Amino acid sequence: MVNSYSKWGIETRKNKYLPIASMLVIAILIIPAIIPISSGLSIKIGRRPTIKVAFIWQKWDLLDLPAKTGMKIYKRILRKTELKYDVKFKVYEFWDSWRGGDVQNGKLRKLGIDVVVGPGGIGGWHCPKKYRTEIKEFVRRGGGFYGICGDSTFGSLGVVNLPRGYKIPLKRVTGYKEFTPMLGLANVYSDASAFDHILEYPLWFKKADMVKVVGKLPTSRVAIRIEPSNIPIQKPYYRDRVRVMLGNVPLVDGPLIYRLFMPKVTTIAVFKGTDDPYDMSIRGEKAIIATTYWRGRVVLSVVHPELTIGNRKAHDLFARNLLWTAKELPNT
């Protein structure tokens, strides 16, 4: 039987598959209209996400200018991560002073940053209120915060067990006698009791002494044990011991009552040894933790896996922490 379509000047034979084809066309046209992309149910085929990473530096931090040379190392690791995890990174470097800067001018939101990396230093221990507010709001709205070394303290509730007379060296090193409030993104503290033997004579502690202590970190190596957990950030390395570069003092649990309104903190790694400049008091304490803050994700790392020269496993710990905070780690 032949059907005539005189209007179009076309003749076709009746096709028994025509109804099926029609239904497929309707599905293609209608389904996107009833399932918006924002619902999170969109099909991702051949997608290679671009992750916008902002490294934050402070002009008031005497450790940030020399530490900035580490950007070459960070970028090298990120290039390897792109190949291994099929992602793409767009890297930004944000600088702030007490009078303003990239973070305080709202660039975290304006540029659509996915994750902030605080690479260390003491700049977060005394900083402008606007600076803290912008970062907290960024994480609250769904951004990631990866605080390393001194910035693990910045992301915490603050510091406990400070050595007697700590204000004297604090002022000499930073110019301030007190800490400003930390971000409070995770229910943990930095345990400063590990500084006890370093600040044994605080009256005589000078900037040169701090430089000497910090100078021991790049060559330090300590074993951390990756703990099995319900957050599979480091699942390939569960129960492994990885030797990494030391950094800040360990993290300890925050107040029990805070667990009523703050998300659970998951221990990702603990110290299994020590090295200069710390003593054995850090053994068994938290080296890396993960949690959430409202819609955002947070990782605080006392140690420097990313700066551990020649250890690819340590570099992958850094990469996986970063991908998880950016919500782009596969199978999580």
Q: Which two tokens stand for residue 96?
A: 């702030």
Which domains are seen in the chain, by residue range?
A: 2-36 (no CATH), 51-325 (3.40.50.880)
Neighbours of 137 (CB within 10 A): 15
Distance CA 122, CA 62 (A): 8
CA 76 from chain centre, in angstroms, equals 17
Per-residue pLDDT at 331 = 78
User: What b-and-e string marks burial along 163-190, b requiring 16 or more CB atoms within 10 Å of the CB?
Assistant: beebebbbeebbeeeebeebbbbbbbbb
Q: Give the count of beta carbons closer than 10 Å to the beta carbon of residue 325.
A: 28
Residue 54: phi and psi, rounded to 5, are -115, 120
167, 161 contact by CB (below 8 A): no
8 Å CB contact between 89 and 113: no
- In this predicted structure, what is the pLDDT of residue 14? 47
Nearest to 139 by CA among 97, 176, 179, 186: 186
* CB-CB contact of 140 with 185 (8 Å): no
Identity of the amino acid at 153: T
Angle at the Cα of 122 from the Cα atoms of 169 and 80, rounded to 5 degrees: 145
What pTM value is reported for the model? 0.84
Instruction: State whether the Cα torsion 156-60-143-150 is positive or negative.
Output: negative
Distances (CA, A) of 12 to 1, 8, 17, 23: 9, 11, 13, 19
Per-residue pLDDT of the chain (332 residues; tens, 9 = 90+): 444 444 444 444 445 545 554 554 444 444 444 444 333 333 344 578 999 999 999 999 888 877 667 788 999 999 999 999 999 999 999 999 999 999 999 999 999 999 999 999 989 999 999 999 999 999 999 999 999 999 999 999 999 998 888 887 788 777 788 899 999 999 999 999 998 888 777 777 777 778 788 889 999 999 999 999 999 999 999 999 999 999 999 999 999 999 999 999 999 999 999 999 999 999 999 999 999 999 999 999 999 999 999 999 999 999 999 999 999 998 76
| Closest to 48 (Cα-Cα) out of 93, 84, 91 | 84
**Which regions of 20-153 does DSSP assign to beta strands (E)?**
50-58, 88-97, 100-101, 115-118, 144-148
Q: What's the pLDDT at 67?
A: 67
